[in-house]
Amino acid sequence: MATINGSDIKKLVVACDAGMGSSVMLASTLRKQLVKNGVTVEHTPVNSIPADADLVVCHSGLAARARASAPGKPVVPFQVFLGDPAVTKVVKAIQTGEDINV
């Protein structure tokens, strides 16, 4: 299991597949929550994760593809697009400088 400190995250990527826009809503929500922490939040296709991403969050069904697309990058999978405990934990860790275990 890898660990990244929340204070080291400057670019968070919400990776998606061709869906219904739920991940766009998540990216927008995260952008608002993390703007004060200087974190850039981007929404990208799972097969096009940028090399400068510090952390990737994606639906659990896309986690394997995200890891293949961004080898070596920490990937946090979630089950529910809004209100998922895994995403809440990431936000808290970034805001407080806690570690995220992935």
Check if the beta carbon of residue 101 is closer than 8 Å to that of residue 7: no
Check if the beta carbon of residue 59 is closer than 8 Å to that of residue 82: no
pLDDT for position 19:
62
Number of C-beta neighbours around residue 14 at 10 A: 26
- 31 class by beta-carbon count within 10 Å (0-12 exposed, 13-18 middle, 19+ buried): middle
Q: What are phi and psi of 99, to 5 degrees?
A: -80, 150
pLDDT for position 81:
86
The residues that are catalytic are 16
How confident is the prediction along the chain (102 residues), in pLDDT tens digits per residue? 689 999 999 999 999 997 668 899 999 999 999 999 999 999 999 999 999 999 999 999 999 999 999 999 999 999 998 899 999 999 999 999 999 998
pLDDT for position 20:
62
Domains annotated for the chain, with CATH where assigned, are: 3-94 (3.40.50.2300)
